[in-house]
Amino acid sequence: MKRKKLLLTLFTACMLIASNVFITSCAKEGPAGKDGINGTNGTNGTNGANGADGADGTASCIECHSPAGIELAATQYELSKHSYGEAAFEEAGSTTCGPCHLSEAFKYVCANNTPSTFTLNTTTNKYVNDYFVAPTAAYGEITCGTCHSSIHTTYSTGDLALTTVAPVSMSMWGGAKTINAAADGGRSNLCIKCHQPRPFTASAGNGNVLDYVGIAANPTAVFYDPTSTTNLLKPAYRTHTHYGTAGAVFAGMGGVEFAGANSYLNSRHTIDASCQDCHMATMSGAAGGHSFKAKGNFNGCNAEGCHTGVSSSSTDYWTTPRAAVKAKLEELASLLQVNGVEILNRNPDAEANLWVSNTSNKYDGYLNIYDPINNPDFAANNPTGTFQNPSPSNSWTQDQKDFNLTLPKITLTNAQMGGIINFQLCLRDYSLGIHNYKYTMALLQNSIAVQ
Ligand code: HEC
Ligand code: HEC
Ligand code: HEC
Ligand code: HEC
Ligand code: HEC
């Protein structure tokens, strides 16, 4: 939707004429032009007089540094997880996590157009993910300058321009697919550059991205067999699609698209809406604006002639579609079993499980595999996991290793692996279908049908 530019410069005339030297020339009375012989110089003289009219060196500062400008944005920003989240500290120094978690690293991948390809290292015969940054750029909390990287370069409101609106070459496909969310000048692409899933790789194979098309085409084929030596990956508690799935679901990409009764269509949001329409709407409570939160704020739904009267009690646009997606998530989870044991993990701890309210059984999208190690970075792993861990760690005690061997082994078909990936993708977009109802339902229903 077309959204009117919020900040129109009040001092355009002064800025246009004297943009290079405005701090001095707008502040003082402009020098009178020399008398011109041919008239051109005479025009310059007029410019000087306009400079005098500007007469305020702080004008451009005030356009941003006002209570309604950056001060308001900064107040709202305190409510944003970009600001209060701790991942930027935890991932500091990481050249591979950095592009999405660290300010300098994000600006680095934008400025250098870092490719999201995978390249074969012919020495190790393993593929390497090319989407990483130099160690010198692997730091920085996400802040104003992450998204507005030109602040204080010309001291004009143009400096608020977004760091990137370019189409996003997707990391999860090794660059083979690109998302271009073109609504509103492509501003969703800024968000999607970070809010895209990380690649699922053949970590026990050649390290390349998993072939989702191949998985979808052969649902009955074996994906993981504990007795095989050619498995592409060994399932573990944290075998998962990394959190930023909203961008891919919104764009209608990123799932294992099993053939089935449901076509992979997109809702109108994909074409007509931008992330900002819903996540930066007029504030309501703690959501909207630079809090980037959509939760409990329906101002975006009802703006710009999109919907009218949508609220948390609306059936057609809120409760019914969300309940339908929740029911499909639960149905798929209940079907993902090996010998009567559920593959997906349940975790009722609302602090550790970010998706605790999205299903009745409180799935967290991880797998129900034994992992006794308490990693301080991840609170607890999975000491109550039911399946045997195919990759016991050297750091386990002998008792833990012995206990692991008493547990049943997990096996996976392509239908199950694809079902797990699609479950994680749809659970972890948080919105229960609001981002892209048609695509979400098609993924879940076709996944259910192949189990
Ligand atoms: C394009 C909008 C914009 C304009 C124009 C602008 N600023 Fe800023 N300025 C910002 C933002 C954004 C911040 C960071 C605010 C924050 O972190 O809360 C900032 C921060 C600052 C700071 C705090 C130190 C820092 O760098 O974080 C100072 C001082 C400052 N600006 C001075 C000025 C002066 C003087 C002018 C005019 C010559 C000016 N600014 C014009 C957007 C602007
Ligand atoms: C530089 C990468 C980056 C960009 C750009 C970015 N985000 Fe984020 N976003 C993150 C990360 C990383 C987190 C999680 C931070 C943490 O937990 O410490 C996050 C968190 C969030 C959350 C909170 C999620 C939760 O679990 O509560 C929302 C909502 C969000 N972003 C929306 C947006 C929107 C909308 C945009 C575009 C206007 C955007 N983000 C742009 C990286 C980014
Ligand atoms: C392609 C972008 C991308 C990469 C690369 C990436 N992340 Fe993330 N990560 C995100 C986004 C986006 C979120 C927040 C998603 C949300 O809340 O919807 C996130 C969330 C997280 C969280 C959860 C924070 C919380 O809110 O509790 C952790 C922990 C995390 N990432 C760790 C890592 C680590 C470790 C790496 C590197 C091995 C990494 N990430 C690489 C995009 C990325
Ligand atoms: C995650 C990305 C992101 C971060 C971080 C961010 N902004 Fe923004 N900001 C945006 C987007 C997107 C817009 C809307 C731009 C558009 O529609 O063209 C915007 C717009 C603005 C505007 C224009 C008026 C408005 O509110 O829409 C101001 C002023 C502003 N930002 C200041 C800030 C300040 C100050 C900070 C830090 C406290 C900040 N921004 C942090 C993404 C971000
Ligand atoms: C049509 C409105 C709409 C659009 C467009 C939209 N979102 Fe959302 N988003 C939502 C709703 C609604 C939720 C769930 C809020 C809740 O939990 O009640 C949500 C949840 C999220 C969350 C989880 C954190 C939270 O606030 O609960 C993230 C992260 C997110 N969206 C990112 C994005 C990104 C990135 C885009 C653009 C690619 C986007 N969204 C586009 C409506 C939207």
Does the structure show a pLDDT above 60 at 35?
no
- Domain boundary, last residue among 20, 37, 61: 61
Q: Spell out the residues 6+ positions from residue 4 whose beta carbon is closer than 8 angstroms to its own.
A: none
Tell me whether residue 420 is in a domain. Answer: yes
pTM: 0.91
- The C-alpha atoms of residue 116 and residue 135 are separated, in whole angstroms, by 18
Q: Is the CB of 96 under 6 A from ligand 3?
A: yes
Q: Is the CB of 198 under 6 A from ligand 3?
A: yes
Shortest-distance atom of ligand 3 to CA 171 = 1
Per-residue pLDDT of 372-398, as tens digits, reads 986 665 556 899 999 999 999 998 999
Tell me whether residue 121 is in a domain. Answer: no
Instruction: Tell how far the Cα of 435 is from the centroid of ligand 5, in angstroms.
Output: 6
Kindly indicate the confidence band of residue 43, based on its pLDDT and cuts at 50, 70 and 90.
very low
Tell me whether residue 194 is in a domain. Answer: no
- The C-alpha atoms of residue 422 and residue 312 are separated, in whole angstroms, by 26
- The C-alpha atoms of residue 276 and residue 271 are separated, in whole angstroms, by 13
Tell me whether residue 221 is in a domain. Answer: yes
Per-residue pLDDT of 302-338, as tens digits, reads 998 899 999 999 999 999 999 999 999 999 999 999 9
Tell me whether residue 3 is in a domain. Answer: no
Tell me whether residue 178 is in a domain. Answer: no
Ligand 1 pocket test, candidate residues 14, 15, 60, 61, most atoms within 8 A of CB: 61
Per-residue pLDDT of 74-118, as tens digits, reads 999 999 999 999 998 989 999 999 999 999 999 999 999 999 999
Residue in the structure block whose two tokens are 């309501």: 284
- The C-alpha atoms of residue 354 and residue 416 are separated, in whole angstroms, by 23
Per-residue pLDDT of 271-298, as tens digits, reads 999 999 999 999 999 999 999 999 999 9
> How does the average pLDDT of the chain come out, rounded?
88
CA-CA-CA-CA torsion for 383, 387, 393, 396, nearest 10 degrees?
A: 40
Does the structure show a pLDDT above 80 at 33?
no
**Residue 273: which of 53, 448, 431 has the closest Cα?**
431
Domain count within the chain: 2
Tell me whether residue 293 is in a domain. Answer: yes
Kindly indicate the confidence band of residue 57, based on its pLDDT and cuts at 50, 70 and 90.
low
- The C-alpha atoms of residue 286 and residue 306 are separated, in whole angstroms, by 22
Q: Record the tokens describing residue 80, joined without a space.
A: 């944003």
Instruction: Tell how far the Cα of 50 is from the centroid of ligand 2, in angstroms.
Output: 44
Per-residue pLDDT of 148-197, as tens digits, reads 999 999 998 899 999 999 999 999 999 999 999 999 999 999 999 999 99
Tell me whether residue 68 is in a domain. Answer: no
Residue in the structure block whose two tokens are 């390349």: 208
Shortest-distance atom of ligand 2 to CA 163 = 5
Domain that holds residue 18: 12-61
Q: What is the pLDDT of residue 351?
A: 87
Q: What is the pLDDT of residue 183?
A: 96
